[in-house]
């Protein structure tokens, strides 16, 4: 079963775009953070403050491994830090096409200002934090991605159409390549 996996920095719109894309394709939508917080019955912030980031990262790996058992096609949105754990790369690739939602620092900052749900962005100098984390993360997101789309410069529906189009073209090529190896 091949799914669609959305990766990208916090505030890149993975959840919103993912829901809309899933609806467009008739797929189910799965949000890894949501899966974790539902199972733990705790918010991400509480998991970080009570058990620490390392524990949260272990929950992410467990969740992404489990999603390989999904029996219906899904659009899966993963937290911005999940691709930074090398052990997760093979699971992401096994799930299907990986799509990177790429936003500029300005777009991300605008969307993340005043947010109280992301423990890694707590405190002063939001822009500096975004810049530093993005510098470390962007090369990893880009390396993992089968498709990259830019967010923040077009309406949601248009973005979803762009993703759906690029994804279809990518999957056709993927199918042709895998057939030619039989």
Contacts with ligand S3P by CB under 6 A lie at: 10, 14, 33, 44, 79-81, 118-120
Nearer to ligand S3P, 56 or 167 (CB): 56
Least distance in angstroms from the C-beta of 119 to ligand S3P: 6
d(CA 41, CA 69): 22
Q: How far is the CB of 80 from ligand S3P (least distance, A)?
A: 3
Shortest gap between Cβ of 78 and ligand S3P (angstroms)?
8
Between 3 and 14, CB nearer to ligand S3P: 14
Q: For residues 97 and 112, which CB has a smaller minimum distance to ligand S3P in the complex?
A: 112
How many alpha carbons lie under 13 Å from residue 105 in its C-beta half-sphere?
12
Residue whose CB is less far from ligand S3P, 14 or 102: 14
Q: How far is the CB of 63 from ligand S3P (least distance, A)?
A: 10
């Amino acid at each position: 079963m091949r799914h669609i996996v959305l990766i990208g920095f916090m505030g890149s719109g993975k959840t919103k775009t993912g829901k809309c894309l899933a609806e467009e394709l008739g797929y189910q939508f799965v949000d890894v953070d949501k899966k974790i917080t539902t199972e733990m019955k705790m918010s991400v912030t509480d998991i970080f403050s009570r058990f620490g980031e390392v524990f949260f990262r272990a929950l992410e790996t467990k969740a992404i491994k489990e999603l390989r058992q999904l029996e219906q096609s899904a659009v899966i949105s993963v937290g911005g830090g999940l691709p930074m754990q090398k052990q997760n790369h093979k699971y992401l690739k096994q799930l299907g096409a990986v799509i990177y939602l790429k936003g500029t620092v300005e777009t991300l900052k605008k969307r993340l200002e005043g947010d109280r749900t992301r423990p890694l962005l707590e405190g002063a100098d939001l822009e500096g934090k975004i810049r530093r984390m993005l510098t470390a993360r962007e090369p990893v997101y880009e390396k993992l991605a089968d498709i990259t789309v830019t967010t923040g410069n077009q309406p949601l529906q248009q973005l979803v159409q762009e993703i759906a189009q690029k994804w279809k073209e990518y999957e056709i090529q993927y199918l042709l390549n895998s057939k030619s190896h039989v």
